[in-house]
Amino acid sequence: MGRRYAAVLRVAPGVEIVGYADPDPRALDAARRISPAPGFADHRALLAEARPDAVCVCTPDDLHREPAVDALDAGAALLVEKPLATTPEDADAIQRAAERAGTPAMVGHLLRFDARYAAARQAVAAGGVGRVLHVRAFRSAAAADRRRRGARISALWHLAVHDVDLARWITGCEVTAAAASGVTDLDGALVVAAAHLVLEGGALATLDASWALPDAFAGRVWTGFTVMGTTGCLDVPSTHASVAAHAAGGVTYTDPTRFFEPPGLSPQGALRDEISAFLDAVRGRTALPVPLVEGVRAVRVVAALERALASRAWVPVAT
Ligand SMILES: NC(=O)c1ccc[n+]([C@@H]2O[C@H](COP(=O)([O-])OP(=O)(O)OC[C@H]3O[C@@H](n4cnc5c(N)ncnc54)[C@H](O)[C@@H]3O)[C@@H](O)[C@H]2O)c1
């Protein structure tokens, strides 16, 4: 993700990239090929020497707390990738640091900037489906993603957190209870998880997240999101194979709604729009579109799902 952020920020009006931090020198080289700026092996050196006004944290899912808190303590505005954290304690620590600092701090729940989900939210708020009865969502990614991430993070944290956030945001209802079951592979990594969430008002959300697609699956991710109500239904289907690029190495598929980097053009899609909305808020032009508390609430729900998976029992979620 850091590379995608660099590609967007490189052409963002009024933005200068003052530095990158990554302990992996290959990642620093890749970033500097997108836009030249000093590279630091430690984020603390970046904060001390480059003194950024704003920091984007794109570290692995379970390693957001330290760079996020240090950036806020250094007075920088913060955009931190989803999930905000992988424990409620880490999420609360980032939230407390933001309150101490008083600088704008936002969590990157990217799909809120996908026009299809935003339209679904507007329609639900306008009464377009009547009273919401059921949210049904699935998010399946390729097994290669599990091989890359599965040892440190579950599909619930990495994938289901998107749909947890969308279910809350689109229905406007908090989650009050969670249950889950899952399938593990021979290494013990969670491959498939099925989640049930009870929403305020009594609607049910059923979400599944998996890292079970074959690596050859077009676009390597397959999603669906449906809201059913007393008078209608809204469906946001997958766009996994929307744009096919054919070249000597074969065919690659791109979902143009999220990260679209058409050859010869600057990046387009939800990530560009998310970063642009963050920059507007940092400049004081607009309110923060996704305040940290939204990330804290999503973390609480996923933490409850993890507990439910382990205990095979319903787990209440504090609202
Ligand atoms: N919104 C989306 O659709 C989407 C898609 C992919 C990833 N993500 C999120 O983006 C984040 C990063 O995911 P990724 O796929 O880029 O992970 P990745 O593992 O490919 O890259 C993470 C990078 O962070 C570096 N790193 C580790 N510790 C660091 C530290 N203390 N300081 C600086 N750098 C450090 C690693 O060396 C690595 O280069 C995760 O939170 C993930 O959930 C979001």
The burial of 265, by beta-carbon neighbours within 10 Å (0-12 exposed, 13-18 middle, 19 or more buried), is given as: exposed
In this structure, are 240 and 116 located in the same domain?
yes
Q: Tell me, using a 6 A CB cutoff, whether residue 58 lines ligand 1.
A: yes
In this structure, are 116 and 103 located in the same domain?
no
Does residue 311 belong to any structural domain of this protein? Answer: yes
Taking the centre of ligand 1 as the mean of its atom positions, its distance from the CA of residue 61, in whole angstroms, is 7
In this structure, are 149 and 169 located in the same domain?
yes
Asked if residue 189 has pLDDT above 80, the reply is: no
Does residue 155 belong to any structural domain of this protein? Answer: yes
Question: Candidates 58, 65, 117: which one to mutate for ligand 1, based on the most atoms within 8 Å of Cβ?
Answer: 58
In this structure, are 117 and 260 located in the same domain?
yes
Does residue 221 belong to any structural domain of this protein? Answer: yes
Does residue 203 belong to any structural domain of this protein? Answer: yes
Domain harbouring 228, CATH code: 3.30.360.10
Does residue 59 belong to any structural domain of this protein? Answer: yes
State the first-to-last Cα distance of the chain, in angstroms, to the nearest integer. Answer: 31
In this structure, are 7 and 119 located in the same domain?
no
In this structure, are 104 and 117 located in the same domain?
no
Domain harbouring 68, CATH code: 3.40.50.720
Q: Tell me, using a 6 A CB cutoff, whether residue 139 lines ligand 1.
A: no
Written as one string, the DSSP assignment of 122-181 is HHHHTTTTSSEEEEEEEEEEEHHHHHHHTTT--HIIIIIHHHHHHHHHHHT--EEEEEEE
User: According to the model, what pLDDT value does residue 191 have?
Assistant: 86
Q: What percent of the chain has pLDDT over 90?
A: 82
Domain count, the chain: 2
Q: Tell me, using a 6 A CB cutoff, whether residue 59 lines ligand 1.
A: yes
Strands 204-213, 190-199: parallel, antiparallel or unpaired by DSSP?
antiparallel
Asked if residue 242 has pLDDT above 90, the reply is: no
Taking the centre of ligand 1 as the mean of its atom positions, its distance from the CA of residue 232, in whole angstroms, is 38
Asked if residue 265 has pLDDT above 90, the reply is: no
Does residue 277 belong to any structural domain of this protein? Answer: no
pTM: 0.96
pLDDT band at 190 (very low <50, low <70, confident <90, very high): confident
In this structure, are 52 and 129 located in the same domain?
no
Q: Tell me, using a 6 A CB cutoff, whether residue 158 lines ligand 1.
A: yes
Task: For residue 61, give the ligand 1 atom closest to its CA.
Answer: 41
In this structure, are 80 and 173 located in the same domain?
no
Does residue 279 belong to any structural domain of this protein? Answer: no
In this structure, are 81 and 14 located in the same domain?
yes
Does residue 274 belong to any structural domain of this protein? Answer: no
CA 23 to the chain's CA centroid: 22
In this structure, are 98 and 193 located in the same domain?
no
Q: Tell me, using a 6 A CB cutoff, whether residue 255 lines ligand 1.
A: no
Domain of residue 99: give its range. 2-110+284-292
Length in residues, the chain: 319
In this structure, are 84 and 115 located in the same domain?
no
In this structure, are 92 and 198 located in the same domain?
no
Task: For residue 24, give the ligand 1 atom closest to its CA.
Answer: 37
How many CB atoms are located within 10 Å of the residue 273 CB?
Answer: 18
User: SS3 of 221, please?
Assistant: strand
Q: Tell me, using a 6 A CB cutoff, whether residue 291 lines ligand 1.
A: no
Q: What percent of the chain has pLDDT over 70?
A: 100
